[in-house]
Structure 1
Amino acid sequence: MNHHKIWTRDFVAICLSSFFIFINFYMLATTLPQYVSERLSASGQQMGLVITIYVLAAVIMRPFAGQWVDRYGKKATVLALALFFASTLLYPAIHSLLLLLVLRAIHGGSYGMSSTMTGAMASELIPAERKGEGIGYFSMFMSLAMVIGPFLGLTLIHQTSYTMLFIVCSVLTAFSLLFGFLAKEAPKEAAVNNKPAGGLSWSMIVEVKALPVSLAGFVLAFSYSSLTSFISVYAKEINLTEVASYFFICFAVMIVLPRPLIGKIFDRYGEHVLAYPGIALFIIGMLVLASAHSPVVFLISGAIIGLGHGAIIPCFQTLALRAAPVGRTGLATGTFFLMFDLGYGIGSYVLGVIAQHTHYNMMYRIAGLLVILSGVVYYVLHHRMQSKSALGNTV
């Protein structure tokens, strides 16, 4: 029965490797804007650029990472993790905005490769009949990093120094490299006619069969970007600054607690039972957030959004992997996160413009209602096509 187990030594190792990748991401995402403002006298636009260039580099590298991990396996993953670690080591030596932007591009590219490759390795270590449950557990480590990373990063810069922040980031990233090195990849299955014959083509960098559900993820990420980018500013606007740091704790707790159940529901009852309620909860939570004027309502909105987000993301990611032919799961993972990152990056800018010309509560209403489009895309490109395919097989 060992081949039905999820919690193998190698799966745990690759989950921990991914966990430390995202710890690094969230620690720096929440502290670097303040760092460049205080130490490099950067403007608000330049602070945004420090984040944008990182995400853009990750977006560019994700599709290639999927192709490389499918072709070279663990060797590619370890090399990406090594570059991610080396980039982190360089932060204390940077004393100009231009050099920091160059480093952020390199670091973002290595982040895009590392997170894609560890995700692909994890998916191949999960038994096929427990794929939804296993992806749910793997995503849970990212959710934990979402809580621990910002808290740890902000605590370090407020109680110690930026130098200590970078040292701790480097140590934690070393653990990511160590666990990635220790994890053994699953035996590769023989892929039939899944490799392009030659030359550069979209099939080499994007898994087309994973695009339908990835487009639904794009819309969700567009809306989700408003939370990580503007929640602290919004909390200040509605005089709830003292509870702003607890928003993501509520958000992440409601992702983590039901995660084992969500994976089992996916495997037993299918994706629609999770996707539609998850989308509805996300929309409701965003609309509640837009109307929040008390700490209780503010935190409840975070819990509702987290429950919806926790149901949707592992569901969409599993569907992207399941759509891929044998030997292209890495490319499917890269495609899903490519679209998610694009939605996140574009959403941060567009929703920021909306907030600038209206108010943050209006921006959150718009962001919440936009998630309806994610449900439409899911129905048209996945649910309806699935139903047509099933009907055709019965004729």
Structure 2
Amino acid sequence: MKKYSKNFWAICTSLLLFMTSFNLIIPELNDFITILGGIEYKGLIITLFTLSAAISRPFSGKLSDTIGRKSTMYIGITVSTIVTFLYPLCGSVLFFLTLRFFHGFSTGFLPTGATALVTDILPADKRGQGMGVFGTATSLGIGVGQFLGSPITNLVGLDGLFIISGMLAIIAGLMILTVRETLKNPQTFSPGLLKIKKTEIIERNVIPAGIVMILTATCSGIIFVLSPDMSEYLGIANKGWFFFFYVISTIGIRLFTGKVSDKYGRRETLIAGCLVLCISMLIVGFSESMFMFTIGAIVFGIATGINSPTLFAWMADLSPSHRRGISAGTLFIALEVGIMFGATSTLYTYESTFKSVPQTFMVGAGFSIVALLYILWHLKFRRQQTTY
């Protein structure tokens, strides 16, 4: 691990704290919107969040390549802190969903800047492994945040949970102060930088990775919506139970698969990842016991541990050096679109009953199969990884 710089570890720590911050509250939001009288809008909790994150990506990508990686991250931290401290003031479903929409802008900015910065400092022959370590910070934040959400709520209540979440965001911002800017000659911000051209929205070279990201991230959208409710159906007190076992399995596999994709190829590694993802969706969807639910979480962690660092390494391979912010933004747009598709699909397949769970997860299994077929097609008919 000594091969990674202090800059790398500082940005990983900041990302870990940031991811923990906004994931801390997710397990309790289904109950929160139910109390407000909006049980039928559970799917919108994640959908609106990812929608605004996707909208913000072209702006964060361009700003990361102009005003700097750090400044872009600070925008995300500021938005996250303000919105989190406003949650306790929610008195209606509309106000709550409005906050969820604005909260998504935070994840549209900080991870984009962080990914561009990490891409700058990782050598090409270590990107798979390095992105595995970087992705571990993300997974650890998701798992720790979601697992601790329910216990903290039991101790200090929902308002206390929101305050702790906001404080973690502030600490993440303080960590960014120790990070060295990697963009050469950053510009001073001006309103004109917010004018986005078509070429600044999507980096065409990374579209193949983006297609796979959309298809596989759909499964994550379904998991985010249903895992808290499934914990209740199966008599599990902690609504973050799923993500505790998810993070244990995904951390180990991420560090290993980074080396595998460096050696055997990104697309070849993704074939295995998509197969495991399909299996995990079937296990979780048809779980009728805590044991099978836990096994499903572990297998899902293995799948994302294979797919996520491999996709980000593939993106880094395909990205022109002067458009790394836009390239990172492109892949994150794909991530959010996929999560949004998955979360939105639950509005039509999930009836807030245990009986409707299997059909919902079958949708996710279907998307993972489509991702697998696309990779096989791409590998056979596209010798160059950039051709889509």
After TM superposition, the score normalised by the length of structure 2 is: 0.88
Q: What is the root-mean-square deviation in Å for CA atoms of aligned residues? A: 2.8
Residue 86 of structure 1 is matched in structure 2 by 82
- Aligned twin of 1:269: 264
Change (3 A) 1:383 1:166: farther
* Paired AA for residue 264 in structure 2: Y
Separation in 1, partners of 2:318, 2:385 = 16
Q: Is the 8 A contact 1:59 1:338 kept in 2?
A: yes
Question: Is the counterpart of residue 341 in structure 1 residue 336 in structure 2?
Answer: yes
Following the alignment from structure 2 to structure 1, what is the Cα–Cα distance between the partners of residues 102 and 49? 8
The one-letter code matched in structure 2 to 1:275 is: L
Rounded Cα–Cα distance in structure 1 between residues aligned with 2:225 and 2:98: 22
- Going from structure 1 to structure 2, the CA distance change for 1:231 and 1:30 (only over 3 Å counts) comes to closer
Partner of residue 130 from structure 1, selected from 116, 126, 130: 126
5+ residue gaps, structure 1, are 191-198, 391-395
1:24 alignment partner in structure 2: 21
Larger Rg: 1
In structure 2, the partner of 1:202 is: 198
Give the corresponding residue for 2:302: 307
Check if 1:51 corresponds to 2:46.
yes
Task: Identify the residue that residue 321 of structure 1 maps to in structure 2.
Answer: 316
Is 1:121 the counterpart of 2:117? The answer is yes
**How far does residue 138 in structure 1 lie from its aligned partner after superposition?**
0.6
Give me the identity figure in percent: 23
What residue number does 2:6 align with?
9
Query: What are the superposed Cα offsets for residues 281-333 of structure 1, whole Å, 9 maximum, x if unpaired?
Result: 11122223333333333322221221111101110121122211111111111
Task: Tell me the distance in 2 between the aligned counterparts of 1:13 and 1:201.
Answer: 33
- Report the residue type matching 1:343 in the other structure: G
CA contact (8 A) 1:84 1:173 kept: yes
> Displacement of 1:388 after TM fit?
8.6
Q: Is the 8 A contact 2:65 2:324 kept in 1?
A: yes
Aligned length: 377
2:301 and 2:120 mapped to 1: Cα distance? 27
Matched, 1:258 2:218: no
1:65 equivalent in structure 2: 60
C-alpha separation between the residues in 1 aligned to 2:274 and 2:44?
Answer: 30
Range with greater deviation from structure 2 (159-168 or 133-142) = 159-168
Match of 2:376 in 1: 379
Q: Distance in 2 between matches of 1:22 and 1:285?
A: 23
* 8 Å Cα contact 1:84-1:114 kept in structure 2: no
CA shift, 1:46, in A, is 4.0
Q: Does 1:159 align with 2:155?
A: yes
Please name the residue that 2:189 is paired with. none
User: What letter is aligned with 1:363?
Assistant: T
User: d(CA) in 2 for partners of 1:47 and 1:246?
Assistant: 19
5+ long unaligned stretches in structure 2: 187-194
Q: Give the secondary-structure state (helix, strand or coil) at the position aligned to 1:24.
A: helix
Deviation at 1:202, TM superposition (A): 2.1
Aligned equivalent of 1:393: none
Q: How does 1:183-262 map to 2 (within 5 A)?
A: 183-186=179-182, 188=184, 200-237=196-233, 239=234, 241=236, 245-262=240-257
- 2:279 corresponds, among 284, 305, 308, to 284
Cα deviation per residue 1:241-292 (whole Å; 9 max; x = unaligned)? 4686433222221100122221111222222342111111111222233333
Relative to structure 1, the CA distance from residue 91 to residue 224 in structure 2 (aligned partners, 3 Å threshold; closer, same or farther) is closer
Opposite residue 61 of structure 1, the aligned amino acid is: S
Q: Indicate whether 1:181 and 2:177 are aligned.
A: yes
Distance 1:216 1:5, change over 3 A: same
